[in-house]
Amino acid sequence: MNTKDLVYETLLKADGAFVSGQELAEGLGITRAAVWKAVRALMDSGVALEAVRHHGYRIVADSYDGATISALSGMDVVFLDEVASTNDEARRLVSSGRKAPFVVVAGRQSGGKGRRGRSFASPDGGIYMSIVVPSTVSGSIESITTRTALGVARAVESLGVECAIKWVNDIYVDSRKAVGILCEGVMSMEDHALHEVVIGIGVNYTTPSFPDDVSSIATSLFADGNAPVSPARYAARQIHEVMKALEEPGYIDEYRRRCLVLGLDVDVITPSGTRRARALDVDDHAHLVVRYEDGSVEHLSSGEVSIRKA
């Protein structure tokens, strides 16, 4: 990492506080002249920096770009202003040889994907990312999916927003969907085995409005635009929380406590049809335990549930 990037990373991690030139020089093992040269280079590249005599330097506003998110998260980040789908781009990068873990982040998606072949609305104001991890990171696709939901829920709640998880992996705020998650496996053409998993996460962060067909069921974390942290800092926090949850033992108890469908009447939607049931529990394999109207009990490993209105 060059001197400019080292100074940038240090100032980012100061979270808006001033860092003196002396502290930067001593901490990075460089001269004060090298610090000033790096600061000037950052300013010339468009970074919003403030320099105050006897106080030092601080970042006034975070840029929403790959360098910022990477510096804050410690992950390899590919940033695109717009892409059809971050999941598709991540899969393309894997097939071209890029090694996991890495993250693809986009400002907008023109063809965002949801579960069961649905489209995912991706207007301005959203945070769209795909985290690529080895398939061995947590043992199963089901575990990766539910662990991701838990990590995202923690990131959302760190902003002071109460949320819950709708099995399997949607994040709800005030009874409406604020975050969608789609996990897809990447098969190797050589041995036909699952090698990587692409974790797609779409967050309605400061999205002010939605298309008519989803406006009644979707919501934004901060529709008024007054988010407590910048999109770059939230993106980095979300990456950190997801990666932490992927390696965390005993996560299922917390996931279960956050699952909003438990104890409710639901419609279980599968390719063969829809059945009414009561959601009883989430088992240790993250399967939803339901009891149908005929008294039979099933542990669902896939499919979809819709909460029935009273």
**Rounded Cα–Cα distance for residues 179 and 156 (Å):** 9
This prediction's pTM: 0.85
Q: What is the pLDDT of residue 213?
A: 79
Cβ atoms within 10 Å of 1's Cβ, excluding its own: 8
Tens place of pLDDT per residue across the chain (310 aa): 689 889 988 998 888 899 999 999 999 999 999 999 999 998 888 788 889 998 999 988 888 999 899 988 989 999 999 999 999 999 999 999 999 999 999 999 886 655 555 556 567 789 999 999 998 876 677 789 999 999 999 999 999 999 999 998 899 999 899 999 999 987 665 665 678 899 999 999 998 888 877 878 899 999 888 999 999 999 999 999 999 999 988 899 999 999 999 999 999 988 888 999 999 999 999 999 999 999 999 999 877 888 876 5
Under CATH, which number does the domain 66-258 receive? Answer: 3.30.930.10
Q: What is the pLDDT of residue 116?
A: 52
Under CATH, which number does the domain 265-307 receive? Answer: 2.30.30.100
Cα end-to-end distance, the chain, whole Å: 58
To the nearest 10°, the Cα dihedral for 13, 132, 126, 261?
Answer: -110
Would you kindly state where each structural domain of the chain is located, as residue ranges? Answer: 3-61, 66-258, 265-307
Residues 6+ apart with CB under 8 A from 304: 115, 116, 268, 269, 270
Please compute Rg for the chain using Cα positions. Answer: 22
Under CATH, which number does the domain 3-61 receive? Answer: 1.10.10.10
